[in-house]
């Protein structure tokens, strides 16, 4: 099982970014997936969930700004980040299933002017 | 939303000690609680799921207990490699939430 995030970088406040999580080694379409973030020096912060049937749940802090999606044909999970704020600066991790038994290595998103 | 409160925030212990970490939920989460270990510079690792099920490959010195609102992670004999921050996480109902973490260091 491998999860590899990409798409991070430096972005200005108010702008957008799209993160990807490429999955391999398991039947991606059978698993719900999550995004979790961690601001520098802070704790873990759950962000969003998408079920195997594409139902979604969001943290209050990102609802209406972030969109989680998946492409089962490409074995890829996405997180669209819109209207970014400085407080969205964090390492973003994707994780598998309801128990997060596998995590990616994380991708850094920095929101700054 | 369900709030998760971990205590203590910092714990100093000696090698061989029995260590107990606490996690309290603001409402009943039944047994839908996991524990994660995060070492500096690394992604978190699953230790315990559904309150007391040990993840494959995790040493048996780690154990979990509890139900409802009160949960505990116990390390029966602390080892140097256990220095890390430990997080609880509830998945009873969305939005799902982590505790703020307990940082475990060697005395």
pLDDT tier, A24 (very low <50, low <70, confident <90, very high otherwise):
very high
**What letter does residue A26 receive in the DSSP assignment?**
S
Q: Residue B5: what pLDDT?
A: 98
Answer whether A49 sits within 8 Å of B34, measured CB to CB.
no
Answer whether B101 sits within 8 Å of A44, measured CB to CB.
yes
Residue-level pLDDT, tens digit, chain B, 107 residues: 999 999 999 999 999 999 999 999 999 999 999 999 999 999 999 999 999 999 999 999 999 999 999 999 999 999 999 999 999 999 999 899 999 999 999 99
Q: Residue B94: what pLDDT?
A: 86
Task: Tell me how many residue pairs between chain A and chain B have CB atoms under 8 A apart.
Answer: 53
Secondary structure of chain B as H, E, C letters: CCCEEEECCEEEECCCCCEEEEEEECCCCCCCEEEEEECCCCCCEEEEECCCEECCCCCCCEEEEEECCEEEEEECCCCHHHCEEEEEEECCCCCCEECCCEEEEEC
Rounded CA-CA distance A107/B45 in Å is 17
Average pLDDT estimate for A38-52 = 97
pLDDT tier, A98 (very low <50, low <70, confident <90, very high otherwise):
confident
CB-based contacts of A107, cutoff 8 Å, min separation 6: A5, A6, A7, A8, A19, A91, A92
- Structure tokens belonging to residue B99: 């505790």
Q: Among A34, A43, A46, select the one facing B101 at the smallest CB separation.
A: A43
Answer whether B44 sits within 8 Å of A99, measured CB to CB.
no
Answer whether A101 sits within 8 Å of B44, measured CB to CB.
no
Q: Answer with the residue of higher pLDDT: A98 or B29.
A: B29
Average pLDDT estimate for A34-39 = 98
For A67-95, the pLDDT digits (tens) are: 999 999 999 999 999 999 999 999 999 99
pLDDT tier, A30 (very low <50, low <70, confident <90, very high otherwise):
very high
Rounded CA-CA distance B64/B50 in Å is 9
Answer whether B97 touches A (CB < 8 Å): yes
Closest CA to B34 of B52, B17, B22: B52
């Amino acid at each position: 099982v491998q999860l590899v995030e990409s798409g991070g970088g430096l972005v200005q406040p108010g702008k957008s970014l799209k993160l990807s999580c490429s999955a391999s080694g398991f039947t991606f379409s059978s698993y719900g997936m999550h995004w979790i973030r961690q601001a520098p020096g802070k704790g873990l912060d759950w962000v969003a969930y998408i079920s195997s049937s594409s139902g979604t749940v969001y943290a209050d802090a990102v609802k209406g700004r972030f969109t989680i999606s998946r492409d089962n044909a490409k074995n890829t999970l996405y997180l669209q980040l819109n209207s970014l704020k400085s407080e969205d600066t964090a390492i973003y991790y994707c994780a598998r299933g309801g128990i997060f038994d596998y995590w990616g290595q994380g991708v850094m998103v920095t929101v700054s002017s | 939303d369900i709030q998760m409160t971990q205590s203590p925030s910092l714990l100093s212990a000696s090698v061989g000690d029995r260590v107990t970490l606490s996690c309290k939920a603001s409402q009943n989460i039944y047994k839908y609680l996991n524990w994660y270990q995060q070492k500096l510079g690394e992604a978190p690792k699953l230790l315990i799921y559904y309150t007391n099920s040990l993840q494959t490959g995790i040493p048996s010195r780690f154990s979990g207990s509890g139900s409802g609102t009160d949960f505990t992670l116990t390390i029966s004999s602390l080892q140097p490699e256990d220095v890390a921050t430990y997080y609880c996480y509830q998945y009873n109902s969305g939005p799902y939430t982590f505790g703020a973490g307990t940082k475990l260091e060697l005395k």
